[in-house]
Chains A and B, each alone.
Chain A
Amino acid sequence: GQNIDQPTEMTATEGAIVQINCTYQTSGFNGLFWYQQHAGEAPTFLSYNVLDGLEEKGRFSSFLSRSKGYSYLLLKELQMKDSASYLCAVRDQFYGQNFVFGPGTRLSVLP
C-alpha cells in the first residue's frame, strides 16, 4: 500500500527558514512533488524530485532520499504570503502519473 506522513501544523516567523518533512512508503515510486495550497484555492506546483539530492528554486528547495523514503521542503526568507498548506505528493506507477498525497502541513508565518 501507500502511506505518506508529514506534520499537521508548523509555525515560523517572517524572515526565518522552515523545513517541512515528508516520509513515504510506496511500491511504485516515480517522483515526489510539493504543492502549495492557500485556503479555498487550487494546489499549485512548487517542486519535483525524482533523483536523490537537492533541487533549488528561488526561496524554495526540496530534497529527496529514495533509500530512506524521505523528502523535505525548505522555505527561506519566509514571507507572510507563505502561510498556506504544503502538500507532499508521490507519483505512484500504480496510478499512472497521478498522485498519492500526504495530509498536508499547515504553515503559519507570524510577523
Chain B
Amino acid sequence: KAGVTQTPRYLIKTRGQQVTLSCSPISGHRSVSWYQQTPGQGLQFLFEYFSETQRNKGNFPGRFSGRQFSNSRSEMNVSTLELGDSALYLCASSSFDRQGDSNYGYTFGSGTRLTVV
C-alpha cells in the first residue's frame, strides 16, 4: 500500500513569507501528526489532527497552524517565516481511533525540507 506522501520535498522561502506543506496519509488512517526536525532540537511534536479536528498540540507559537480535510489529508502552515524555521517537517499518519489505543508507533513520511533565507 502507498505510504505517507509529503509535498513538496524541498522548499526555499524568504524570511517574512508564509508556507503551506501537505501530507497525504496512508489510506484508512485518520490521524495525522506533524513534527519539526532540526539538528539542534531534534524531532519536536507540532500538532495532531483527527477527524478534521486538532486533537493534541505541542509547544510551538501560533505562527504554526494546520488543518485536516474530510479525506484525512492535512496541511500545515507557517506564517511570517523566520530563519529558525528552517527544518525538516515530518508528518506521520496512524489508524488510532482513540488516544493511546494501540501498541504500535505510526508511519512517517519522508518530509519536506524547508529552507528560509
A interface list, Cβ under 8 A from B: 30-31, 33, 35, 40-45, 48, 50, 87, 89, 91, 93, 95-104
Interface size for B (C-beta < 8 A) is 29
10 new A-B contacts at CB < 8 Å, known A97-B100, A101-B42: A42-B111, A45-B106, A48-B105, A87-B42, A93-B100, A95-B56, A96-B55, A97-B94, A97-B106, A101-B43
Task: Determine whether B33 belongs to the interface, using a CB cutoff of 8 Å to chain A.
Answer: yes
> A98 touching B45 by the CB < 8 A rule?
yes
Q: Is the CB of B110 within 8 A of A42?
A: yes
- Chain B minimum-CB-distance residue to A4: B42
Report how far A95 CA is from B42 CA in the complex, Å. 17
B103–A48 CB distance below 8 A: yes
- Which of B94, B99, B103, B108 is A43 in contact with, Cβ under 8 Å? B108
> Which of B's residues lie within 8 Å of A, judged by CB?
3-4, 31, 33, 35, 42-45, 48, 55-56, 58, 90, 94, 96, 99-111
Closest residue to A49 on the B side, CB-wise? B103
- Nearest chain B residue, comparing its CB with the CB of A43: B108
Complex contact A96–B56 (CB within 8 A): yes
Which chain A residues border B4 with CB–CB below 8 Å?
42
Q: A42-B90, A48-B103, A104-B42 are in contact. Are A95 and B58 (CB under 8 A)?
A: yes
**Residue in A43, A91, A93, A99 whose Cβ sees the most chain B Cβ within 10 Å:** A43
Q: Cα distance A45–B102 when bound, in Å?
A: 14
* 27 residue pairs A–B, Cβ–Cβ below 8 Å: A30-B100, A35-B105, A40-B110, A42-B90, A42-B107, A42-B109, A42-B110, A42-B111, A43-B43, A43-B108, A89-B43, A91-B100, A95-B45, A95-B48, A96-B48, A96-B55, A96-B99, A97-B31, A97-B96, A97-B101, A98-B33, A98-B48, A98-B56, A99-B45, A99-B105, A101-B42, A104-B42
